[in-house]
Amino acid sequence: MTYVGRGVDAISNVEKLDNITFNGGTTYNLTKSSVAFTPSGANNILVSIDGVVQQGNFTVAGSTIIFDFSPTSNNTCNFIMHYGIGVLNISADDSISTAKLQNDSVTLAKMASGTDGNIISYDASGNPVAIATGNDGQVLTSTGAGSPPAFETVSGTTINNNADNRVISGSGTANTLEGEANLQFDGTNLGIGKSPSRTLDMTSNGDYFINLNDGTNASVGSTNRGVNLYAGGSIPMYLTSSKVGITNAPDLGTGLHIKTADSGASVDANADELVLENSGDTGLSLLSGTSGSGKIAFGDSGDNNIGLIQYDHANNLMMFFTNGAERTRILNGGEVIINRTSTFFGGNILQIVGKNDAEVVAIAVATNGKKAIQFANAGLSDVGNIVTSSSSVAYNTSSDYRLKENETPITDGITRLKTLKPYRFNWLADNDENGNPTQTVDGFFAHEVTAVPEAINGTKDAMHPEVLYTADDELPEGKEIGDVKEVAKPNHQSIDQSKLVPLLVASLQEAITKIETLEAKVTALENA
């Protein structure tokens, strides 16, 4: 319905706001010329709905009006008027709360007419009081509850021994500090006992020192005495002017001495750069990967490993080098090879290859008549030996009666002897470069000595099997595991001609007996 009365827009200090279109809600935005408008409060707003001025049935929060009811689209907003402060609902003195003050609304201009240099504080009752202006150089100090702070003059602090870069410390005396001559910091480097030239530079009486990060090396030591490194309450390392000791002070050698207990032994002056010492067993471990090698190299100015001891973990073999070349090898089965890197006959524990035209093995005994070589069986019993005298060699095989049984005399010596076929021949290997024999010798063919089979070793026409490369071998270039390393070779028969002696003796005895019988018959005929 139409509003009855004087036009509200005619009242001074009044602003007309945009009408609201209701939609059944309770909350609507307040705008003026479509711009959000924040009224001074709900008491400054006059709203007419359907010709009825609303009073007490809405609140205002910022630019939002909230009705206590829900106007619908059937309701019409006739007008919304805003009355300026001072026109309506003027507050009484001392009645405006802090909540009514807008943040930052109290400016310095509103706090004018103060006294230059004063500071505002609060008394015991919570009322503001002015703290009188202090003098130049004074500081504001608190005297505790019950009295306001005050400006006071601070007494001076004395720094004894003050100088550039000295670290200041307490002295135990009030208002007195100490400039430490033995503790200096220049902003980058710290010096203890001296002026610093490194990040950390320490010295003691000009002797013991620690110098760290001088751009070259880090140093810990002494100019005149040894240095001990402590760990766990003990000294695991000792440093002297020329020696290093581990677990004990160095008293042997000229270099590194690792000592766990005193052995009572001395050390060779030509082998004392590294000394390992213990009262019991002493050892040095070289630990390598399963496919690597452990090495001890001997070098000089011309070659860094002209001598070498090497263990090959991949093939489990030991190698010994002299003059830059391998000379001896111990295989994983215990076979020892000299002047060769692989076996040439299977099953031999020791294999030696002659060098050039030199003799292969030389054996000498200290006392004539002693055994140069002794042979034992699988039970480690003595079965033979080679004995040297001052001028000859005796080849002995066991023949003790206590080792024998079922003994019978030889009665068919001549018959058996007659089966032997001695020959004159030359060895193929002894031919000269033109194929001509260099010497002719007497002997037998081993397979024909059937009268004394125990003298024969091997089988006629036997062959050594071919040998293939295995994982235990050092493969030459172009060779693979499974390739032929050694072609099949003849396994030659041999003969122990000493075993023919008993047959020869028996045959000779038989012949002597027959000769003696014939001589007796001849004598009898002559006497007749």
Per residue in 12-40, pLDDT (tens digit) is 578 899 999 999 999 999 999 999 999 88
Q: How many residues does the chain have?
A: 528
Secondary structure of 273-294 as H, E, C letters: CEEEECCCCCCCCCCCCCCCEE
Token output for 124: 């015991």
pLDDT of 233? 65
pLDDT of 209? 61
- Over residues 169-194, mean pLDDT: 78
pLDDT of 321? 94
Residue 436 carries which DSSP code? -
State the Cα–Cα distance between residues 134 and 499, nearest whole angstrom: 134
State the Cα–Cα distance between residues 331 and 30, nearest whole angstrom: 105
**Which H helix or E strand runs over 416?**
helix 413-417
Q: State which amino acid sits at residue 397.
A: T
Say if CB 343 and CB 329 are below 8 A apart: no
When mean pLDDT is compared across 37-41, 76-80, 447-451, 507-511, the lowest value belongs to 37-41
pLDDT of 221? 63
For the entire predicted model, the pTM comes to 0.52
pLDDT of 89? 46
Say if CB 211 and CB 218 are below 8 A apart: yes
pLDDT of 8? 47
State the Cα–Cα distance between residues 49 and 59, nearest whole angstrom: 15
pLDDT of 207? 61
Q: Looking at the predicted structure, is the pLDDT value of residue 457 above 60? A: yes
Say if CB 84 and CB 93 are below 8 A apart: no
pLDDT of 218? 64
pLDDT of 206? 61
- Over residues 498-510, mean pLDDT: 93
Token output for 134: 């202090």
pLDDT tens digits for 236-293? 776 766 677 777 778 787 778 888 888 889 888 888 888 888 989 999 999 999 999 9
- Over residues 350-361, mean pLDDT: 84
pLDDT of 5? 45
Q: Looking at the predicted structure, is the pLDDT value of residue 397 above 60? A: yes
Token output for 386: 């080679």
pLDDT bucket at 2, cuts 50 / 70 / 90: very low
- Over residues 338-349, mean pLDDT: 81
pLDDT tens digits for 69-112? 999 999 999 999 998 754 444 455 666 777 777 777 777 677 77
pLDDT of 86? 41
Q: Give the CA diameter of the chain.
A: 208
State the Cα–Cα distance between residues 311 and 295, nearest whole angstrom: 6
State the Cα–Cα distance between residues 343 and 331, nearest whole angstrom: 9
pLDDT of 3? 47
